[in-house]
């Protein structure tokens, strides 16, 4: 097929770059902490099975233990009560795992105020300069938060009043999920919602509205500053866990240079 041959040629000569948007997954990967009485996920860990020794002389391998929502991960609609009758992660159509993406950069706002919330007017102003949100595509919300990912305390940014991380207002989340052609929202923070979103109406509105509308979330992305405002193609690869509410994922972007 000429189109696929052209793509392979462009990858080979560098005119299309593959940008990895995935945070490395290790025991130090920051995870969400919910207050009591709510249950929490386990952190990622490896348990060695053998490493070129008497347990297996020619091979190295491990068991892994992790939650579905650890590190860079994909939220399926069934993850939230509003999407409880919708797709689990194994049921997401493969064609929806490859889609156009645009980047809205609010990193200056988030640097000035870690509780910054994106509002509808911010998105409308972005559209005036950059064109419409992509049909069946992703809005990648850049806040610069990935710079904190190597320090769990700085990444979660919690104090006695709770976590302070940027996000999206309830009104804007509803509008994006229900009135725009997007299929999903990608963020750099630990979850798609702001740190203070437990106090919003409804609580955790990005989860509530996006997943309730049969749309998707991607979290803990990195390297969004390497993407153009529009024109990238996003490739998200969650594990097809039967009955799963989500999955750690490798997320790549194809970018014309």
Q: Catalytic site residues?
A: 79
Other residues' Cβ atoms within 10 Å of the Cβ of residue 48:
11
Distance of alpha carbon 116 from alpha carbon 195, whole angstroms? 10
Phi and psi at 197, nearest 5°, equal -70, -15
Pairing of the two strands 98-105 and 230-238: antiparallel
Contact 137, 101 (CB under 8 A): yes
Half-sphere exposure of 186 (CA within 13 A, CB side): 36
Contact 227, 194 (CB under 8 A): no
113: which DSSP letter? -
Radius of gyration of the chain (CA): 19
Pairing of the two strands 162-163 and 158-159: antiparallel
Contact 169, 117 (CB under 8 A): yes
Collect contacts of 148-152 with beta carbons under 8 A, ≥24 apart: 149/23, 149/30, 149/188, 149/220, 149/222, 150/28, 152/28, 152/30
């Amino acid at each position: 097929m000429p189109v696929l041959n052209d793509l392979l040629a462009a990858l080979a000569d560098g005119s299309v770059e593959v940008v990895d948007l995935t945070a490395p997954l290790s025991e130090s990967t920051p995870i969400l902490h919910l207050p009591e009485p709510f249950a929490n996920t386990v952190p990622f860990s490896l348990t060695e099975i053998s490493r070129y020794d008497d347990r297996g002389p020619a091979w190295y391998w491990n068991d892994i233990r992790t939650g579905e929502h650890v590190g860079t991960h994909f939220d399926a609609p069934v993850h939230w009560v509003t999407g409880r009758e919708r797709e689990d992660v194994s049921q997401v159509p493969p064609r929806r795992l490859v889609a156009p993406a645009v980047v809205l950069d609010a990193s200056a706002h988030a640097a000035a105020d870690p509780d910054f919330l994106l509002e509808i007017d911010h998105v409308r102003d972005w559209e005036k300069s950059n064109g419409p949100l992509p049909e069946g595509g992703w809005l990648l919300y850049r806040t610069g938060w990935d710079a904190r990912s190597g320090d769990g305390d700085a990444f979660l940014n919690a104090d006695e009043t709770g976590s302070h991380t940027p996000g999206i207002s309830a009104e804007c989340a509803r509008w994006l999920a229900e009135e725009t052609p997007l299929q999903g929202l990608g963020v750099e923070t630990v979850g798609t919602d702001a740190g203070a979103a437990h106090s919003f109406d409804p609580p955790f509105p990005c989860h509530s509205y996006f997943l309730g509308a049969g749309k998707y979330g991607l979290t803990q992305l990195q390297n969004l500053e390497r993407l153009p405002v529009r024109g990238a193609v996003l490739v998200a690869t969650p594990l097809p866990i039967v009955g799963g509410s989500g999955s750690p994922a490798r997320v790549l972007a194809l970018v014309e240079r």
